[in-house]
Amino acid sequence: MELPSRLIDRAVDQIAGLPGVGRRTALRLALHLLARNEEDVRRFTESIQDMREGVKACTVCGNLGEEEVCGICRDARREDSRIAVVEDLRDLLAIEATGHFRGRYHVLGGVISPMDGVGPADLRVESLVARAASEACQEIIFALPTTMEGDTTAFYLDKRLRECGVEITTLA
């Protein structure tokens, strides 16, 4: 379908580039933004730009936040002895939403996927091995997806972490 403006078409293309957003939804969102008042659209675009510029990965675990070290890593009430290994922020947030896990996290930033060109060097593996080797760490919990890529990643990490002498468990 040809749109009446190349500017609308460009906006639709950009919005449709988001995961799970097709062209029809992107067009609906673009037209909605076009109908909003200028101040609302300015706040919307500023918030996206501010997020892009201000959010960074925690230097300890890879969680996202505005500080060099995230709130979870700074929380002295957390157990240093247990580290849950997750693929990304969504998994960390899902576990946190339960309110039951009081340990630490390690965000890998993906899973091993040869088909997508993602190998161990593309993930935060070395920092996980270093954390597991610390005296405080006693257990590594794999909270990875139950997919072939997740299983491959868990198998690789298991082999790398065995030398650290920590207990390795997997969520059921």
Torsion of CA 53, 54, 59, 60, to 10 degrees: -140
What integer pLDDT is reported at residue 149 of this predicted model? 96
Which pTM was predicted? 0.84
Smallest Cα–Cα separation from 96: which of 122, 78, 120?
Answer: 78
What integer pLDDT is reported at residue 1 of this predicted model? 67
> Tens of pLDDT along 117-156?
999 999 999 999 999 998 799 999 999 999 999 999 999 9
Which pLDDT tens digits describe the chain residue by residue (172 residues)? 677 889 999 999 999 999 999 999 999 999 999 999 999 999 999 999 999 999 999 999 999 999 999 999 999 999 999 999 999 999 999 999 999 999 999 999 999 999 999 999 999 999 999 999 987 999 999 999 999 999 999 999 999 999 898 999 998 7
Cα–Cα dist 172/158, whole Å: 16
